[in-house]
């Protein structure tokens, strides 16, 4: 059931990257970020159901499938969410979030878990106001209202769902299996990499297999492999241990919740860059193209550094160095064709991966020690 749910989000991430490709500017980047954060919130809220409830109960698969359908509608409305389909996107989001919470409030009657579901239902009701209002208005007010709605949804998690008469959720209320959580995050990350493979494959087969396009496809595939390697080594492998070892496991879980969308945003940008370098490998590189080709890996490394800090209580210097090198080489990209810009970004990622491997050989694996 968990993997079945994830299938919808391959489509969702693909639609996000295509929307950014069509609106490759600051406004488009801002809009894509808001839509990504909305989709991430839907996925995370639905993904934990299987950990908190017995999926053998017939009602739970029905609930997850209903959320899947709502998520598919959400993804379908994404390309024109800031246009004619704004109310459809907002309505689908609100329907999934409130509908899931209301369903769980009903099925947990008499169960102590109902308190958390009531808190979530309350805050989804609060954020529904700017979501739906944003779907009705046009232009920049929609962006402002939806940014407010996203802020409400994410702040509610950070402050543990403070609700009238119920107060904040306790650590017991928010308890989650570290093993399950880490596995689900890894699965979603693989799903995001699958979207990269999909984009690369579609772009590569769309217009011949010339040498320059083949080289660009090879660079794109190599970048995907390097992203997987850097994510997994080593914080991605031991996130479950970090959650279990933390004095407050829910705090580490919430921090991981914030770190992953930064990495996923980087992958969405890389996906756009992959399509550009395959379709136009040897053309001039406009600044907007360079921004996604280099900015995507930088965002990924930033999110990966946040995750590493939560697991080990420190950040490897090679992550910071990689971001700085990507920023330093960006001015020179106006002189290079897109495929070489992407190759330079891949070399930076390769250096980070090699540094990780060298450090792992030089000392025994360190245990998770998340910051207190």
The model's pLDDT over 4-26, given as tens digits with 9 standing for 90+, comes to 889 999 999 999 999 999 999 99
pLDDT of residue 173: 80
> What integer best gives the mean pLDDT of the chain?
91
User: pLDDT-derived band of residue 368, with 50, 70 and 90 as boundaries?
Assistant: low
- Whole-structure pTM value: 0.92
pLDDT of residue 296: 97
pLDDT of residue 310: 81
Q: Are 295 and 223 in contact (CB under 8 A)?
A: no
Closest among 370, 122, 160, 354 to 259, alpha carbons compared? 370
User: pLDDT-derived band of residue 54, with 50, 70 and 90 as boundaries?
Assistant: confident
pLDDT surpassing 90 at residue 237? no
pLDDT surpassing 90 at residue 109? no
pLDDT surpassing 70 at residue 367? no
- For residue range 317-366, what is the model confidence (pLDDT) as tens digits? 999 999 999 999 999 888 899 999 999 999 999 999 999 888 777 655 55
Closest among 8, 30, 31, 13 to 80, alpha carbons compared? 31
Range of lowest pLDDT (24-33, 288-297, 311-320): 311-320
pLDDT of residue 179: 83
pLDDT surpassing 80 at residue 234? no
Neighbours of 305 (CB within 10 A): 22
């Amino acid at each position: 059931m968990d993997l079945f749910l994830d299938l919808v989000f391959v489509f969702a991430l693909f639609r996000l990257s295509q929307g950014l490709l069509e609106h490759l500017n600051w406004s488009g980047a801002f809009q894509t970020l808001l839509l990504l954060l909305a989709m991430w919130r839907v996925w995370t809220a639905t993904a934990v159901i299987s950990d908190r409830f017995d999926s053998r109960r017939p009602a739970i698969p029905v609930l997850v499938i209903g959320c899947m359908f709502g998520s598919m509608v959400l993804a379908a409305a994404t390309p024109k969410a800031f246009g004619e389909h704004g109310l459809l996107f907002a309505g689908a989001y609100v329907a999934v979030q409130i509908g899931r919470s209301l369903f769980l409030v009903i099925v947990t009657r008499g169960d102590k878990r109902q308190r958390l579901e009531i808190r979530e239902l309350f805050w989804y009701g609060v954020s529904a106001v700017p979501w739906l209002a944003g779907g009705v208005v046009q232009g920049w007010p929609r962006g402002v209202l939806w940014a407010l709605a996203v802020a409400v949804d994410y702040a509610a998690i950070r402050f543990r769902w403070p609700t009238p008469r119920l107060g904040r959720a306790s650590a017991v209320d928010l308890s989650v299996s570290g093993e399950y959580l880490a596995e689900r995050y890894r699965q979603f990350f693989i799903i995001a990499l699958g979207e990269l493979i999909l984009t690369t494959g579609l772009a590569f087969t769309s217009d011949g297999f010339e040498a320059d396009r083949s080289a660009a496809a090879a660079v794109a595939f190599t970048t995907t492999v390097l992203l997987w390697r850097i994510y997994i080594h080593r914080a991605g492998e031991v996130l479950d241990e970090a959650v279990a070892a933390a004095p407050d496991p829910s705090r580490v879980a919430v921090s991981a919740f914030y770190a992953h969308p930064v990495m996923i945003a980087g992958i969405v940008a890389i996906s756009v860059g992959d399509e550009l370098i395959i379709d136009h490998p040897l053309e001039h590189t406009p600044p907007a193209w360079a921004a996604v080709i280099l900015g995507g890996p930088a965002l990924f490394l930033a999110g990966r550094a946040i995750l590493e800090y939560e697991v080990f209580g420190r950040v490897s210097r090679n992550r910071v160095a990689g971001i700085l090198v990507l920023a330093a080489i960006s001015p020179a990209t106006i002189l290079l064709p897109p495929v070489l810009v992407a190759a330079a970004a891949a070399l930076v990622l390769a250096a980070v991966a090699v540094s990780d491997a060298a450090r792992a050989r030089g000392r025994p694996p360190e245990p998770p020690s998340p910051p207190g």
